Structure 1
Amino acid sequence: MSAPVVARIFTEYLAGRGMFSIAEGLTRDGIASPSAHDPERNRHRSGAAWSKSAVRVILSNPRYTGRQVWNKQRKDEVLIDVEDVALGHETKMRWNTPDKWVWSADQVHDALVDTETFEHAQQVLAAHGAGRATRERHRVRHQYALRGLLHCGCCTRRMQGQWNHDEAYYRCRYPQEYALAKTVEHPRNVYLAERDVLPALDDWLAQAFVPIRLAITVEQLFASQPERVADSDDGATAHTIADCDAKLARYREALEAGADPALVAAWTAEVQAHKAQALAARRTKHGQPRMTSDEIRALVDTLGNIGAMLANAHPEDKAEVYRQLGTTLTYEPNKRLVRAEAGIRPQPWGYGKCPRGDLNPHAQ
């Protein structure tokens, strides 16, 4: 981001303008947003306008002072499964509070804002909402069968789930999050009730399992399974797991012989982590055994009426079915129409790639 833009954002914010007002002004003046300035690193964003979050990120970035900053994050080792400690630990990145950041003594590049201005901005940010007498809010987890699958036809963003009157709805409030660019025509609020979509969607997906199309669907399901990998290095993985088991057995013997429990616990945690990594690598590489076409056909036959099964399924189960079928939905509010697409495609085993790419190097 260019120096005049950064200086303008800090100046206007400390003069009393809100982040959304700043975003509107930048968009109105034709200044490219960060996602438009670097589209290769922001392919998942439209870049049409500035957002409040983009302004906040700039206001919170200490490197605009010209100094290097370390220790903004830390690594915490947490149990993979508290119910099964044998799985070991995994590393989680956590944010440190600003008072634990480590600043370089000297400037390493030209400063876009001085340190006093930056610290003043952080004080204003930290004071947001201070002194308000608000009621304690109890967080309730609601189930949304179309979470992450429904997009707004006006701005292409994913619509957010919202619970109203004991029902699931999806909304898009683009004008409240982004400054409106001239090329974007968007209602103030776009709402869609889940009950208006699910029956038609379930009936449409069930058509893939009617007798006349069942053979094609079964072949597509068979082809979508991940390929099994050759067992070339299974010996090395098995050796690692066996070595970890042997060490754990020795540690138990040492503990029974009177060794320091704290020291044995540290050894055990380290070995359990190595074993968990080996087990996870083996599961990721090989995945689940591939089903044959006949097995898939037999499974479908046992389910009976697919449409009824979908209609009565739990929201989380329905969401997983929609995701596995590659379902995407786009709501056109002006036409009051939902466009649905689905395609069974080969999927790699394991987690998908983070859409933020190299902007989030710690994501798996």
Structure 2
Amino acid sequence: MPIDLEHDDDGLLTQWMHQAHPGAWMGRRLADVVGTVRFAFYGRVSTADFQERQSSHRWQRDAAEELVAGHGRIVAEYFDSSRSRRLAWPDRPEAAALLGRFADAERGFDAVVVGEYERAFCGTQLMSLLPLFEAHGVQLWLPEAHGPLDVGDASHRALVLLLGAQSKREVQRARWRAVQAMRGQARDEGRFLGGRPLFGYRLVDAGPHPNPMHAKWGRRLQRYDPDPVTAPTVKWIFAERLRGRSVSSIAAELNGSGVPCPSSADRARNRHRTGTSWGLTTVRAILMNAKYTGRQVWNRQPAYYTPAHLPGPFRTQRWARADQWVVSRSVVHPPLVSEQDFVAVQAVRAHPAAGDGRAYALVGLLRCGWCGRRLESCWSHGRAAYRCQHGNTSAKPATGRRRNLYLREDHLVEAIQALLGETDAALGSRASRLAQTLRQQRLVVICGEAECTLEPQIPA
């Protein structure tokens, strides 16, 4: 039979192989002519940066096509990228779109096929989805079941439970191995494990990768080296803090001198930040980062995963306590501050510490009448006071914005007494007693420059 070159979809060689060895291609050829089931293929790749999407898609699609060969053909495709299997189907864009088509009478497919169970489901996800499949008359085909899943078959239900537990175990085992390996690399080798370079440092070559295959592919290790432009700024920040300066005054001087903030100095890696000015949290983060001592520090902000059956974000990051950090046993890059000075900086307090006789009885009970924020406590001319900076900080110059609200505690006590219709003698006891009364009656004080009012406390 002559070969049709005008419809050469697979290529001349492939058409010849079809004709010369039809048996080897029987499954593929029959898939187009035998069976009327219309399938929607679903697949997933978890990390686009560390997995090749095309290869992962290809083998999953091939496995699905081999399963449905002779029964029908794949007419639709849904493939999620950079989505963990731990995410429920409604939280994966392509999986959610597939589920959304179930109720459509014109959806165009009769069944869903996946190339591998672990790529599609984790834990008890499938058990919770099966009623939805059954309600809309959509079959689910699994390679592990050698065809359509029969929920009425006890062996199939047991298979689903076994595959779900195995998929969950695979995730947990892989994460534990990776975390333990990274912990050892940071502690014993002081290895740089990735991420944006620390402000004050730049990344330089640290030799070939210790894994022979990675080294063969040209991968190299990296380490920190002082940046000649930004390292002096970090040293100056630590020196000023050791002198007892407040974080806000350090940030204000940096802004006033026009020193580029970290996100401005490295815009390529900080496009998600404004890069406009130094803030209190930026200076504080530098002062609290132990990597400036020359040691590698890992696990300062670990990831936490919310179980699928609980509400909340799937993945969050929170600051870990210092005793949970993983610190290298030796100094692995040039320090910008000595360990003695770093520890001393952590003890510097520009504001009054607990136990110095300064007390603020009305903390948490005062709201700004202009912006609605809580007033923060401050010590003013030997007296307890409260203020609101309307979302601004002392690190930024006060130009063209509403002036800060300052109120002394003794003046507030007199105003609150008048609002409550009470009188008392001793000021010290009055402040504490009024605070107790406000909390018992669930009231807050709305503060303005001219007057104050009482309002019910809104539940958090």
The TM-score normalised by the length of structure 2 is 0.30
- Structure with the bigger RCO (C-alpha within 8 Å, sep 6+) is 1
The TM-score normalised by the length of structure 1 is 0.37
Largest Rg, 1 or 2: 2
Greater helix content: 1
